[in-house]
Amino acid sequence: MAYKQYTSREQMERDGWKFSSGPELAPCRECSNPVEWAKSPKGKNIPMVPGSTQVHFDVCGEQPAPRPHGRAQAKH
Ligand SMILES: [Zn+2]
C-alpha cells in the first residue's frame, strides 16, 4: 500500500517511526498472522511484520500460515 519501503528499522526510526521496546506480538484479527505494533511518524499505530520493515497491510490476507491438515496423517 502507500507506505514507504525501508531496508532497515534505523531508517524508519530516523523518519520518526517508533517501535515499542518490548515487541507486542499479537495475531491479526483478519488473517491471524502475528503482528508487531509500531507508531508511524504521524502517531498512528501500524501493524508490522514482526522483526521486519514491512507493514502488515502488505501481507495481510495472503494467508501464508500453513494449515496442518491433509498431509500429516497419524498412522497407528
Ligand atoms: Zn492481517
| 15 CA distance to ligand 1 middle (Å) | 24
How large is the average pLDDT for residues 6-12?
Answer: 93
| 30 CA distance to ligand 1 middle (Å) | 5
Residue 41 pLDDT class (50, 70, 90 cuts)? very high
* Mean per-residue pLDDT of the chain: 80
Q: Which three cell numbers stand for residue 64?
A: 501464508
- What is the phi/psi pair of residue 35, to 5°? -130, 150
**Taken in order 47, 50, 52, 54, is the CA torsion positive or negative?**
negative
Percent of the chain with pLDDT over 70: 74
Q: Among the listed ranges 11-15, 40-44, 68-72, which one has the minimum average pLDDT value?
A: 68-72
| 76 CA distance to ligand 1 middle (Å) | 37
